[in-house]
Chains A and B, each alone.
Chain A
Amino acid sequence: MGGFFSDTFLTALLFGAVTAAIPLLLAGLGEQMSEKAGVLNIGIEGMMITGAYIGFVGAYYSGSFWIGFIAGAAGGMAVATLMALLCVRFGLNQIVIGIALTLGLEGLTALLHHFQFSRSYPRLPAAEVTPIPLLSDIPVLGPALFRHHLIVYLAVAMVGVMIWVYKRTQFGLNLQAAGDKPAALDVAGIDVIRTRTVAVLFTGGMAGIGGAYLANVGAGLFIPFITNGAGFLGIVLAMLARGRPVWVLVGALIFGGCLSMTTAAQVAGIRIPTDVIQMLPFLAVMAMLVLFGRRAGLPAALGIPYERGAR
Chain B
Amino acid sequence: MTEQTQAGPAIVSLEGVTKRFPGIVANDRVDLEIRAGEVHVLLGENGAGKSTLISMLSGLQQPDDGRILIDGVEMPIRSPSHALSLGIGTVFQHNMLVPTLTVAENLALGGRWWQRPRIAELKARVAEIARPLGIEINLGARVSELSLGEQQQVEIVRALLRDSRLLILDEATSMLTPKGIAELGALMRRLVERGLAVVFITHKLGEAADFGDRVSVLKLGRKVGEITSERLRMLERAALVDEIVAMMFGRQAGADVISIPPRAANDDALLEVRELCVAETSDAPGLDRISFAIGHGEILGIAGIDGNGQKQLAEALAGQRPADSGNVLLAGKALDGLDVGGRRRQGLRYLTDDRLGEGTVGTFPVSINYFLKQIGEPPLWRSGMERTREIDARASELTRRYDVRTPGISTPVGRLSGGNIQKVLIARELADGARAVIFNKPTYGLDLANTLATRQRVRDIAGQGLAVLLISTDLEELLSMCHRIAVISQGRLVGIVSNGDGAGERVGRLMIGLAA
Contacts and interface: CB of A to CB of B under 8 A. Distances in A.
Interface in B83-137: 84-85, 90, 92, 96-101, 105-106, 108-117
Interface string A208-230: 00000000000000000000000
Interface stretch (B55-63, B353-361, B367-375, B469-477): B55-63
B113 A309 contact: no
B81 interface: yes
B117 A173 contact: yes
Contacts of B307: none
Interface string B191-231: 00000000000000000000000000000000000000000
A171 B114 contact: yes
A173 B60 contact: no
B169 to A, nearest CB: 14
A177 B98 contact: yes
Given A184-B109, A189-B80, A309-B55, A176 B115 contact: no
Given A169-B113, A170-B113, A181 B99 contact: yes
Interface string A26-57: 00000000000000000000000000000000
19 contacts: A169-B115, A170-B112, A170-B113, A170-B117, A174-B109, A176-B98, A176-B101, A177-B101, A180-B101, A185-B98, A187-B58, A187-B90, A187-B96, A188-B80, A188-B109, A189-B85, A190-B81, A300-B99, A309-B55
Given A170-B117, A308-B60, A309-B61, A190 B98 contact: no
Contact of B108 (A170, A180, A183): A170
B21 to A, nearest CB: 11
A168 interface: yes
Interface of B: 55, 58, 60-61, 79-81, 84-85, 90, 92, 96-101, 105-106, 108-117
A180 B98 CA distance: 6
Contacts of B117: 168-170, 173
A170 B81 CA distance: 16
B299 to A, nearest CB: 36
B82 to A, nearest CB: 8
A180 B109 CA distance: 13
Task: Among A171, A177, A187, A190, find the residue whose CB has the most chain B CB atoms closer than 10 A.
Answer: A187
Contact of B80 (A170, A176, A187, A300): A187
Contacts of B92: 187
Given A180-B98, A185-B109, A169 B80 contact: no
Nearest to A192: B80
Nearest to B85: A189
Nearest to A243: B100
Given A177-B109, A181-B99, A186-B80, A170 B61 contact: no
B116 A169 contact: yes
Greatest chain B CB density within 10 A among A174, A181, A184 is at A184
B146 to A, nearest CB: 14
Contacts of A174: 109, 113
Given A170-B111, A177-B109, A184 B80 contact: no
A273 to B, nearest CB: 46
A179 to B, nearest CB: 9
A173 B108 contact: yes
Contact of B81 (A168, A189, A309): A189
A190 B109 contact: yes
Contacts of B106: 184
B155 to A, nearest CB: 10
Cβ-closest 6 pairs across A and B: A189-B81, A188-B110, A188-B109, A171-B113, A184-B96, A309-B60
Nearest to A171: B113
B98 A168 contact: no
Contact of B97 (A181, A189, A191, A308): A181
A311 to B, nearest CB: 9
A169 B100 CA distance: 16
Contacts of B115: 169-170
A266 to B, nearest CB: 46
Contacts of A177: 98, 101, 109
Contact of A184 (B58, B97, B113): B97
Contacts of A300: 99
B64 to A, nearest CB: 14
Nearest to A299: B100
B80 A173 contact: no
Contacts of B99: 180-181, 300
Contacts of B58: 187
Name the residue in B97, B98, B111, B112 with the highest tally of chain A Cβ atoms < 10 Å from its Cβ: B98
Given A177-B109, A189-B80, A170 B98 contact: no
A176 B100 CA distance: 8
A92 to B, nearest CB: 21
Nearest to A297: B100
Given A173-B117, A181-B98, A188-B96, 6 more contacts: A170-B117, A171-B114, A181-B99, A186-B80, A189-B110, A190-B110
A187 B108 CA distance: 13
A29 to B, nearest CB: 19
A186 B90 CA distance: 12
B96 A181 contact: yes
Contacts of B98: 176-177, 180-181, 184-185
A169 B113 CA distance: 7
Contacts of B100: 176, 180
A257 to B, nearest CB: 32
A183 B90 CA distance: 13
Contacts of A183: 96
A173 B101 contact: yes
B96 A170 contact: no
